[in-house]
Structure 1
Amino acid sequence: MPSPLRVILNTFLSGPQAWFFVAEDRGYFADHGIEVVFTPGDTLANAVPKVASGAYDIGYGDMNALIELHGARPDAANPVAVFIMHNASPYTIAVAADGPIRTPKDLAGQHLLTHPNDAALRMFPEFIRATGLDASGIAIIEDRRHHRDLTAAILRGEAAGLFGFVNTLASAAIEAGIAPADLRHFEWRQHVPALCGAAIIASPDLVAERPDTVRGFVSAVNRAVKDVIADPDAAVEAVRRRDPTIDVAANKARLMGTLALEMAHPEGARLGLGDIDPLRLDEAIDLITAVKDLPARPESGRIFDRSFLPPDGERIRTLAKAS
């Protein structure tokens, strides 16, 4: 058997990674002759350079960070996205729902908390451009505490807002004994709709040398997502078997929220989960290239390779919501 695939996840083990563990437990990877070693990550954005470095074969990484990498290294052999899991952007700034900040422009002059290199923070310039926010007086403070502590800090008034993912912060609120409705969200999917979120990305060496392995990995995960939709309790149990310390209720809420938000873009009904409208991808590339002043505007075909997607009849369309 070939050497095991080294896979870097987006974060610590959590409910919205369940499809990877379901695929492993039910032998879907083994059906394709694949053995996998998963490593927890530290942010969605950081998974991209870790695959680019050669340390990992596959990453669960940020599609927008991948675009940025390609634009910054136009002549390099870069990773490629092979399945877009989050076809809607999960990024948000959360504030107290009963506080004075009612619109994005009310964030002007405020203090905002963030984990280092958070994917939402990295895409803050795109949010600023889309909303017309005057960011000149905003103070951004890095804070490595768990999100459950940071959500509580926001409600105590330690800062005005918190960068993150909508469902990550909702789950963290539950863990902190806070009602998710106590947070108001300014969501990128509403203000910067061209962007998406997490994707399965593969190293250039893996794509070149073991394309059938890439295709098999994607097929196994796609099959497991169907199982997760059918039985989310069993899916969270697959995560709990790997980390018995997780808050099961919070992780189920996070998983269900991810299925209902990040994975429910309307175009999924037409294209199926894993794909993106080419015009929308080009719009995202144009925006990121301009806002981040990248050395080159990367070509979409080098960033996302559709040839590894499941056949049309096997794609998931049930999650898509009407626009």
Structure 2
Amino acid sequence: MLNTFYSGPQAWFFLAADNGYFADEGLEVSFTEGSSLARAVGGIVTGGFDAGYGDLNELVRLQAAEQETPVAVMAIHNRPPYSIAVDAAGPIKTPADLAGARLIAHPQDAAWLLFPEFCRATGLDPDSVTITISEAPHTQMVPQMLAGQWDGIFGFVNTLNAQGIEAGVDVATALHHLTWIDHAPAFYGGALMVSRAFRTDHPQAVAGLCRAVSRGLANTVADIDGAIDAVARRNPALDRAANRARLTGTLALEMGDAAAQAGLGDVDDARLREIARLIAAAKDYPRQPEPTAVFDRFFLPPMANRARMSG
């Protein structure tokens, strides 16, 4: 199960398929489009999927809420992609300026779900903000926000930028991002996950899945245009320029830190504990899951064989 419709920041999965890396591991993999990175976590369980691409922080949240979850086996995003995009020419420059703002979010948007944690980290009163939930695409939301209908949009930095580009917006000058990277940096982002039954029953397949995805990641970094080709084979209507920007932005922002340059896939247990603490405090959950309940690094390839991000 994927996080959304076929798009640039999923290219490594498609390259792994097209280049035969899943077949090399004895795996047959099919893809189902999802509706959000956060919603994919529960969808892996309720939909009976063996594996998926979901939000690691949402996995922690569901564990803290004592719900059934998959287990993460490979981190993809080393840094949080979440943002509130505002008009760069407007008065909102810092989180404190959001008091009294009108914001809009997709249902189950990961940034919106973590807004209480953002508020605790920045001192913003969440009750001072009005939030509208809408299914409208970001291609509509961005121009509407810039026209004054809203003061900000929840989303991922590079998703908002890419869909702004699709809407004809010069996002480099029009949008200003209030990011979790700057204000709540402990959080992770997307991760490869498997069902607990699949992990128990087919451990060799889980290890093979990690190896294949890591090879796909390495190919993506080496050939951005080839990666976009792999997405376009599944989504011929793809806006190539916007999705190329979305992919390169994701590699730089969410996947470009020093740890990813050494080898992508593992997590810092101390950060997972901090995420659990922040979520439990913000949402008044009774428990803080241990890292071993959330992430299993046993299946990762050796460090020498992991994909590396460029500087």
TM range (shorter): over 0.9
Query: Which of 49, 52, 58 is residue 45 of structure 2 equivalent to?
Result: 52
User: Hey, what's the Cα distance between the residues in 2 that align with 1:114 and 1:285?
Assistant: 23
| One-letter code aligned to 1:57 | D
| One-letter code aligned to 1:162 | I
User: How many pairs were matched up?
Assistant: 310
User: Hey, what's the Cα distance between the residues in 1 that align with 2:224 and 2:178?
Assistant: 27
The TM-score, its normalising length taken from structure 2, stands at 0.97
Pick the structure with more helix per residue: 2
The root-mean-square deviation of aligned C-alpha atoms, in Å, is: 1.2
Task: Show the counterpart of 1:190.
Answer: 182
* Percent pairwise identity: 50
Task: Show the counterpart of 1:18.
Answer: 11
User: Hey, what's the Cα distance between the residues in 2 that align with 1:163 and 1:188?
Assistant: 11
User: Hey, what's the Cα distance between the residues in 2 that align with 1:17 and 1:222?
Assistant: 12
Moved more, 175-184 or 85-94: 175-184
| One-letter code aligned to 1:279 | A
Within-5 A mapping of 1:1-323 = 8-53=1-46, 55-73=48-66, 76=68, 78-181=69-172, 182-270=174-262, 272-319=263-310
User: Hey, what's the Cα distance between the residues in 1 that align with 2:229 and 2:217?
Assistant: 14
Asked if the contact 1:267/1:276 (under 8 Å) is kept, the reply is no
* Ranges in structure 1 where 5+ consecutive residues have no aligned partner: 1-7
User: Hey, what's the Cα distance between the residues in 1 that align with 2:280 and 2:91?
Assistant: 34
Asked if the contact 2:103/2:154 (under 8 Å) is kept, the reply is yes
Asked if the contact 2:64/2:289 (under 8 Å) is kept, the reply is yes
User: Hey, what's the Cα distance between the residues in 2 that align with 1:133 and 1:97?
Assistant: 20
Asked if the contact 1:54/1:203 (under 8 Å) is kept, the reply is no
Deviations 1:122-176 (A, max 9, x none): 0000100001112222110012111111111111010000000000001011101
* Ranges in structure 2 where 5+ consecutive residues have no aligned partner: none
Task: Show the counterpart of 1:5.
Answer: none
| One-letter code aligned to 1:306 | R
Moved over 4 A (4+): none
| One-letter code aligned to 1:195 | F
**1:61 aligned counterpart, secondary structure:** strand
